[in-house]
Structure formats: C-alpha cells, structure tokens
Amino acid sequence: MNVSRTSLPRELYFFYEKNTGVSHFHVEAGADGQFPVEQAAGLLAMHCLVRGQSPRDYVVMVQAASDSLEGLTEKAEQLLQAGHSVGSSVKLTRREEEVLGGVMRSLANKEIAASLNLSERTVKFHVSSLLAKFRVRGRMELVREAARHTAAPMTMAPPSVSPREARPSVPPPHTYSQVARNMGPIALTKRQLLA
C-alpha cells in the first residue's frame, strides 16, 4: 500500500478556553502529519497576550476521524425522538402532579385530600384522570408508569398534623457524652417509630 501522507486528510487541533469551552483557533497538522508546535505556540502566545491569559487556560482537542463517528448522528436523532415522545406523552397539571406525588407515597385518597386541603371526591377525580393519562388500570401500575415517565420527583405538601396530634419532641443532643450524662432511655410511641 503506497499512499502518500499528503493525500490523507490532515488532523486539526482545536484550542478551547477551559473556563468557557469556546474554541478560539485551530491549527492543521503539517505535511508530515506532525503537530505544528512552532505555529501553535505562536498563535497561543498571541491569544494569551491579547486576552491577558495563560497557556494553561487552554485545552487542545483533536478532531475525531470521520469513520469513528459513523452512525453517531443517526443514533442521536433516534434517541432525541424517543426522548421527545416520552417527555411529551403525559402532560400533567400542577394539581395532578401533587395528587400523583401522594399516590407514589402510597397514601390513601383520604390522606391525600387532607394534605392538599381537597375533598376526597376531587382526589378521586384526579386519580381517575391520572389512570387514563398513563393508560393503566390500577394504582400500582400508575406508580410504575409514572416512575418510568417522569424525570422530576413528584411534589406534594407535607401531611398536616392537627394540634391535638402534635407532640413535643426531644431535641437531638449535640454529643454522645451529653446523652449518657443527661438522659436515660427515651420512650417512643408506635407512630414515632414508623415515621
């Protein structure tokens, strides 16, 4: 195989500013295929002088060979289309997102209604709407499909506690020695253990 070096495409070396990622200039490999150190050093010094920078502020990248990038654009387009279809397939209102957050936390309709200050009937309506939008028949399927389709965590207001349910809590101690000296065992109710 007797192919001259001049007939092959020459590599390009791009100089990118590290902080911004902006390409400021590039140099082409010499006829012998080697990196042109003198030319690159001159251009780099000139850019650093004008911009008040250091050569260490730049990174050099080499253009990838076209055969190594074969199929990249097509595959990226396919993934992009798939991403758009997943992201746009299920549109939820703010209230539906809040109700879905409660469903994903395994709360009953009554608990979701109480935490969002809604009627239980309204929550049932939103759950039915969610089942239809995700094309599922039950809450477990809804949770699975919602977890698959949504990237952001569902938000829901923390459950409200009525004043009679509120109990004083013991502040956490700062050091182990204070616990050993100042406190004995702390009795916790079943509700506190499950929280």
109-130, pLDDT tens digit by residue?
999 999 999 999 999 999 999 9
pTM value is: 0.37
Instruction: For residue 146, count other CB atoms closer than 10 A to its CB.
Output: 21
Instruction: For residue 85, count other CB atoms closer than 10 A to its CB.
Output: 9
Furthest CA-CA distance within the chain: 91
143-163, pLDDT tens digit by residue?
888 887 765 445 454 555 444
Q: How far apart are CA 190 and CA 50, in angstroms?
A: 70
Percent of the chain past pLDDT 90, that is, above it, reads 24
Read off the tokens for 43: 């251009």
2-57, pLDDT tens digit by residue?
545 445 567 888 888 888 888 888 898 888 888 889 999 999 998 888 888 899 99
Estimate to the nearest angstrom the gap between the alpha carbon of 86 and the chain centroid. 16
Cβ neighbours for 110, distance < 8 A, ≥ 6 positions apart: 120
Sign of CA dihedral 139, 141, 143, 146: negative
